[in-house]
Structure 1
Amino acid sequence: MKLSRKATLITSVLLAGGLALTGCSSPSAPADGGSTTTQEPAAKGTPLTQDDFAQRIADAQFAAGSVHMTMQMGDSVEGAVEADVVIDKDPKKVQMQMKMNSGGMDGDIRVVDGKMYMNMGELSGGKFLDLSTMPGGAGDIGAILDQVNPGSQVEGFGDALTDFTADPEGPEIDGVKTTQLTLTLDTRKMFEAQPQEGVDIDTLVSTIGESMVYDMFVGPDDLPRRIVMPNVGGMGTGTQEYTKWGEPVKVEAPAKDEIADASSLQG
């Protein structure tokens, strides 16, 4: 399954921005790139600030442990993505099942036990490919797992944030009152902090522009409910919705007879 250029661009932007914004700090990698000695974040329910929002959101996600995510890839791109994710500080314990439809083709991606499986519908004969058996697959999967983990590989993200505002009177989403954070980011620095496999940063900057503005809606429990990035490269609004925080998630690896021999597809 090969996504269109539009879908690839918007998915890359949403993933890089969404995953970075929902976990912009970790105990060993401060968001400002400075000392590892961090100030204790304020308690939940107090106003989010530029200094503490990243750490508080990351901590809340680790405490919740799981989430359901729905992604719309822009007004001009057909298709949607839904995922159930188990969040853990250990990338090997992260689990994810992502189902997507684009251009009439369905895809099923699963991350479990440190491996990634991808079913590309007719293009893979209805079978899953074990990407860890393909050349370079193990390294690529490790990078993807780090990106799914909300506390990993984000040390340089703080440099990408050029403006921050917080409106405590954000809309109610899924029955939860939210604070609306408006975050302006340097496009190049954001993607350098959250590199995406196969994505050319120069092309992204020339297409999207030097900066991007995300609106992030966060509940009183410091958990995000929605991320919106208006007009991705003129392609329309991209949105991620987060629900079912903390509900049990179990991702099953495909059965052996559901997995294709990936080596036979290499050429």
Structure 2
Amino acid sequence: MRKLTGVLSAFALAVTLSACGNEADSGDAGTNNGGGGSEQAATNLAALAKSISDSTADTNTAHMVIDVDAGGQKVTGEGDIELGSADPKMTMTMSTPDGDMEMVFVDGVLYIKTPEELEPGKPWLKIDSQGNDPMSKALAGMTDQMREQADPRATLEQFKNSGTVTSQKEEELNGEQTTHYTIKVDAKKLAAEQSDPAAKSALEQAGVKEFPVELWVNEDDLPVQVQVKMPVKDPASGATTQTSAKVTYSKWGEPVEIAAPSADQIGKMPGS
């Protein structure tokens, strides 16, 4: 369970920081060399929220690639996301120090395909924030946070006071013309907005006042890449380690298939 929690923490960090990047760029911007909705949105929070909402109303699916390094613990992943509902949908295949895992997030429920079958023929674990089993109870806060952070529009209000755009410029990234925002995030303000006690505590104990976020947005006001680097304090040793997370988005608007595994594929943790 400890290893599984660690993997989920790394994934939640990537999702949280990517969403945070979209919120943080809504801070007070200086000048903007871009055009279209991005130029207007970067100077005004309300305009940014409307720009993102309008852009993802129809173009609400994307491919995601994550790359997280938390103090030497590396997690990479690739999958799809679908926005537009109360509970965003997500699927991800991840490579972790403990082996490859698959995740599906549907209807507010997280499903994890573990490296080893929990029961014969049942490789999937179900984690429901409303469930009564020990695993669901232990990870309820994390799954709730993942649901909240998966949709950049839903977290815009939560992070609106935490970031300030310090610079922006036009760049080509992954074959697209983008506006590259450099953002300064206030760790204390960000911590105050967290609903998950673990995430709040991690930010409060990080020992840093602020950290940078790099955000690239394309000409359609859709995120292309978010990159974050910040120190995190290890509660066990007290040592501070560098954590980095990069999320790359592509294939906006292309069809995706995201569905929960069948009930006969879901097993239980030993002892539960």
TM over 0.5: yes
Q: Is the 2:194–2:200 contact (alpha carbons within 8 Å) kept by the matching residues of 1?
A: no
Counterpart selection for 1:259 from 240, 262, 266 = 266
Q: What whole-Å deviation, never above 9, does each CA across 1:201-243 have from its counterpart, x for those lacking one? A: 3343333512111010111111111111135444254211111
Q: Is the CA contact 2:178–2:219 (under 8 Å) kept in the aligned structure 1?
A: yes
> Which protein is richer in strand relative to its size?
2
Equivalence for 1:117: 111
Name 2:43's counterpart in structure 1.
50
Name 2:65's counterpart in structure 1.
70
Segments of structure 1 that go 5 or more residues without pairing to the other structure are: 26-30, 33-41
Q: Is 2:24–2:185's contact at 8 Å kept on the other side of the alignment?
A: no
Which among 135, 138, 146 is matched to residue 144 of structure 1?
Answer: 146
Q: 1:114 to 1:13 in 2, by over 3 A?
A: closer
> Is contact 1:180–1:215 with CA below 8 Å preserved after alignment?
yes
- Letter in structure 2 aligned against 1:243: S
Q: How many residues align?
A: 246
Which residue identity does 2:81 align to in structure 1?
V
Q: 1:6–1:235: 8 Å Cα contact kept in structure 2?
A: no
Listed one character per residue, the Cα deviations across residues 100-124 of structure 1 (whole Å, up to 9, x for unaligned) are 1211422211122443212222273
Task: Tell me, yes or no, if structure 1 residue 81 matches structure 2 residue 98.
Answer: no
For normalisation by structure 1, the TM-score amounts to: 0.76
- Alignment check: 8 A CA contact 1:49 1:166 kept: no
Secondary structure class of the residue paired with 2:183: strand
**Regions of 4+ moved over 6 Å:** 4-9
Q: Map 1:130-141 to 2 at 5 A.
A: 130-132=126-128, 134-135=131-132, 137=136, 140=141, 141=143
Q: Are residues 11 and 177 of structure 1, via their aligned partners in 2, closer, same or farther at CA, if it must alter by over 3 Å?
A: same
> Over the residues paired in the alignment, what is the CA RMSD in angstroms?
3.3
User: Who is 1:199 aligned against?
Assistant: 198
Percent identity reads: 20
The TM-score normalised by the length of structure 2 is 0.75
